[in-house]
Structure 1
């Protein structure tokens, strides 16, 4: 990227630029400034032009949490602009006229269940390699096409995190004529299109045409255009003559049928490097975030094509870093994916929105194994907003003050958050009344708490329980609360359990209890492993379980002491 590009704001690295200007506490304010400047420049005679924020995706594999990155990044910029009084439309394009180039190994039904290709109508996909996604039957049989199925899941994901988006089918942009003028312009200026694209792609020869028709014989997208007629006598639309030839698809070739025919500009598609900037023009896009994979290749070519071929002013760009899932890249084929619907079974929507509110220019990991840390971080962020964290730094306070109202559905100081791991402990019992009783006894629910706050607090228990089961961690056990498991212990073990009960009754922290378990076993000449096993049998009717000291510290003391004494 040249210095001139940086100077005129065309660099997508707008959050990474280091300058002496005022720094906002929230990155979306920085982006909103640039969007407002663009809108003022492009619409000087309009009082309140609608601002359009866009994201997009090509249907492929499983629409997972990583795919909503730009939905939520766009949402925060939209929220800031709405705060400033602007009308904002957030659109998300499905590039569903792209051809299917390879078979996905994993798919997803509308309920969020991952399934192998062999468990659905795989033939619906296998017979349609090279066809547009919207021309391929839905392998689940529930939507109009494979493309529509994918788009429905994206829309459901946005709805689940309460982000209002308009899904836009690229196929519809062609078939309803929205793309007519842009496509006609690209074909009329095909010589210039070749010159510009040749700077970014090696496979651009003198015969290159920026249009890929759909073969009327076999239904596949073909890249071989033999002639262009901008004003045909028999049609109001420009047409192209084509030959259906083979298509390269990574390490394989999709065979063309050899048919020669004619197609109008509504019966095909532009290559993506023209289609993407074309979307900016027809949708009036003012801002689009995208991953860093687009920043060095697709964005420079898109910017160039928009300005120098299509006569379109590009939107404000913003590159964001990818994030990983438990330290590994998202991958449908490798099974390293999680859907938004899955995540919301583990934590509240506001916690997920908080994750995406953090600086997009930094790489992060979304760890299911350590999800308790993210929830604890959110709880501190929330408490900081309400002035409950005395040691909060100036930056922490500024970020919380600015961002918290954008993350939650409603700001309510009476809210209650059970510590996530404590909620996981409560999840060891199925009794909802007992869960509330323990939470109140341990001081997590005040006596005067409003009912809505109590319900919200206890709803976290099921989420934490789901997390424990999904990760099979130390909280994935069933606490035998209602009756004492039927186990006999020798006199030495009975005495040791009674000593441990006295120690816990006196009041000690988790690590002190853990250490005392070892010391009690030694004083009574009991094998340490056997003594821990006695504790697990007594509380879980199992031979093993969570780290015992911290667990006993989290459960209500009265019950723990009584159980160790074999009283209940």
Structure 2
């Protein structure tokens, strides 16, 4: 792909990473770390998308760059998440085991807990165009790839303990705050306390000697173990487990344990020569792993990577997401309702330190409106540099373009039509081809994948109160009780007037029906159908027209769907069809 000059936060970070890699004499290596301890949610996705976007920008410039995703599947199983189908309290027996030694939820085709949650994200990343090299920490540790690093850490445990002890003292000296935490602060505190990975794990300290290594017991498989002795020359290590098992092993040959997190992470920075790795608030607070790692990683012959802190990603209507709780929205779930370029755009347009929400409720329609507005703005050469860059990163990678919907009818329109037609493809196609005469829709295929995403959203996420059921028969009692003005309003809607409202059949498009339904209250007010009130110069006229418009809309909704509100009226009328509409609004 030819080089494209993009100007945004991604480009600026890419500049820094390229310069830093050159200074260190290595290629740009960007890293992410994901612990498959539970559902890998949309907050975790930021851990992947920030390095991906930066690495992809470096590749766009023709550099050889690599994005690593380290699957922290050798982490301990810390707690049983709530609300996960196929999981009950019996999984508590596996607490303390590696995630790859814990069975998957019942009914899963995966071989382990880690594989079950990792594989779902892998599919989503493929859809999102994320190119990376995955590294299983279980495979690395059990294959003995880190033996030299483990022995080195044990041999330098005194120096490591001294570094960590400074931060232990610092943490104890931190004054407690009396004020209440706001929602974001509380979310950060919860993340630090329970985390999705190893942020909250101990650093290997104890009442006796310090050992930065934690073995998994050969008898029960858990890490409820205590190292009681270690000989540097022979690498002979003795540990006891709470299950009663005691064992002495040669650490150079024993590959069933791992370095504690605050040593493990900087060790891997050096092993993989990582230049860039962002992390969340839970890893960057005072005394946490990213901060402490700066002083530990030089022992392994490296420097801490460039690593901006990223803010949380939320879901509208949900508290801060944690993968230790079941039911949190995952990337795969989001991709059921939105196209990959849109989800990429949400992460590309915000700087890492800016929090944002992903909407899977009715606000997804507004989000799509923003996206479509961006497409129009950039195609019309009115986009700012940041808009152009965000759109380019959303719709393409260094490897090429991502699939997009050929004909982009508004998501809210498609959703409304699908809701009303309830799975009738022929009916949906008839209506959608009439939405906009300027946008030819030859068949439903040109509306995919947006159509499929909207269909899934209507079926699974649309609030029950928002669903639309059109009356089968006219509401005769309501029609007979109409005032003269209301009857005249319906006549204007259906038959127009001699001036600027036409017969409803001749206005059969979204634009035409919009003109018709918004024009009727204006004509009733003695104005032209295309009259635009000046709210500042004549607020009384504007207010009166607004009240008349609300009453007219309420009348239509009541007669058509037995509600006072509903989907946008032009879309609703288009879905009903002119013949049926006349039948529902007329006494015959």
With the shorter chain as reference, the TM-score category is 0.7 to 0.9
Q: How far is the alpha carbon of 1:166 from its aligned partner?
A: 2.8
Tell me which of 145, 150, 153 is aligned to 1:183.
150
Partner of 1:242: 239
Q: Is the 8 A contact 1:51 1:88 kept in 2?
A: yes
Residue 58 and residue 552 in structure 1: after superposition, are their counterparts in 2 closer, same or farther (change >3 A)?
Answer: closer
Matched residue SS, 1:55: strand
Which digits, 9 at most, give the CA deviation of each residue in 1:324-366, with x for residues without a partner?
A: 1115211456656212222122111111000010222211122
Q: Is the 8 A contact 2:279 2:309 kept in 1?
A: yes
Q: Is the 8 A contact 2:42 2:313 kept in 1?
A: no
Matched residue SS, 1:275: helix
Matched residue SS, 1:93: strand
Partner of 2:48: 71
Residue 301 and residue 412 in structure 1: after superposition, are their counterparts in 2 closer, same or farther (change >3 A)?
Answer: closer
Which digits, 9 at most, give the CA deviation of each residue in 1:441-469, with x for residues without a partner?
A: 3326534x7x69x6343543443344345
Residue 177 and residue 446 in structure 1: after superposition, are their counterparts in 2 closer, same or farther (change >3 A)?
Answer: same
Partner of 1:82: 59
Alignment of 1:123-522 (within 5 A): 123=90, 125-140=91-106, 142-201=109-168, 203=205, 207-232=209-234, 238-244=235-241, 256-263=242-249, 264=251, 265-296=254-285, 297-307=288-298, 309-326=299-316, 328-331=319-322, 337-358=328-349, 359-369=351-361, 370-387=363-380, 392=382, 396-409=383-396, 410=401, 415-427=406-418, 428-429=420-421, 430-443=423-436, 446-447=439-440, 455-457=445-447, 459-469=449-459, 470-472=461-463, 475-479=466-470, 484-485=472-473, 487-489=475-477, 490-493=479-482, 496=486, 499-503=489-493, 505=496, 506=501, 512=518
In 1, Cα distance between equivalents of 2:520 and 2:457: 24
Q: Is the 8 A contact 1:321 1:360 kept in 2?
A: yes
Partner of 1:522: none
Which digits, 9 at most, give the CA deviation of each residue in 1:1-41, with x for residues without a partner?
A: xxxxxxxxxxxxxxxxxxxxxx9731111111111112112
Q: How far is the alpha carbon of 1:510 from its aligned partner?
A: 8.8
Q: How far is the alpha carbon of 1:230 from its aligned partner?
A: 3.5
Partner of 1:97: 74
Residue 381 and residue 152 in structure 1: after superposition, are their counterparts in 2 closer, same or farther (change >3 A)?
Answer: same
In 2, Cα distance between equivalents of 1:533 and 1:84: 56
Which digits, 9 at most, give the CA deviation of each residue in 1:178-210, with x for residues without a partner?
A: 211211111111111111111223556661111
In 2, Cα distance between equivalents of 1:94 and 1:266: 18
Residue 567 and residue 304 in structure 1: after superposition, are their counterparts in 2 closer, same or farther (change >3 A)?
Answer: farther
Partner of 1:525: none
In 2, Cα distance between equivalents of 1:537 and 1:462: 30
Q: How far is the alpha carbon of 1:557 from its aligned partner?
A: 7.8
In 2, Cα distance between equivalents of 1:177 and 1:510: 74
Residue 336 and residue 146 in structure 1: after superposition, are their counterparts in 2 closer, same or farther (change >3 A)?
Answer: closer
Q: Is the 8 A contact 1:66 1:330 kept in 2?
A: yes
Instruction: Give 5+ residue unaligned stretches, structure 1.
Output: 1-22, 44-48, 108-114, 233-237, 245-255, 520-527
Residue 320 and residue 24 in structure 1: after superposition, are their counterparts in 2 closer, same or farther (change >3 A)?
Answer: farther
Matched residue SS, 1:376: helix
Q: How far is the alpha carbon of 1:377 from its aligned partner?
A: 1.3
Residue 554 and residue 367 in structure 1: after superposition, are their counterparts in 2 closer, same or farther (change >3 A)?
Answer: farther
TM-score (norm 1): 0.77
CA RMSD in angstroms, aligned pairs only: 3.6
Number of matched pairs: 493
In 1, Cα distance between equivalents of 2:346 and 2:516: 29
Q: How far is the alpha carbon of 1:567 from its aligned partner?
A: 9.9
Matched residue SS, 2:166: coil
Residue 329 and residue 318 in structure 1: after superposition, are their counterparts in 2 closer, same or farther (change >3 A)?
Answer: same
Which digits, 9 at most, give the CA deviation of each residue in 1:476-535, with x for residues without a partner?
A: 22446xxx436534534497467325236526559847968999xxxxxxxx99998874
Matched residue SS, 2:337: coil
Matched residue SS, 2:162: helix
TM-score (norm 2): 0.74
Which digits, 9 at most, give the CA deviation of each residue in 1:397-440, with x for residues without a partner?
A: 21232232221143899943211221222212133344344334
Q: Is the 8 A contact 1:54 1:90 kept in 2?
A: yes
Partner of 2:87: 117
Which digits, 9 at most, give the CA deviation of each residue in 1:218-249, with x for residues without a partner?
A: 221145212223443xxxxx3421122xxxxx
Q: Is the 8 A contact 2:342 2:371 kept in 1?
A: yes
In 1, Cα distance between equivalents of 2:310 and 2:568: 42
Residue 349 and residue 478 in structure 1: after superposition, are their counterparts in 2 closer, same or farther (change >3 A)?
Answer: farther
Residue 567 and residue 380 in structure 1: after superposition, are their counterparts in 2 closer, same or farther (change >3 A)?
Answer: farther
Q: How far is the alpha carbon of 1:80 from its aligned partner?
A: 0.3
Matched residue SS, 2:167: coil
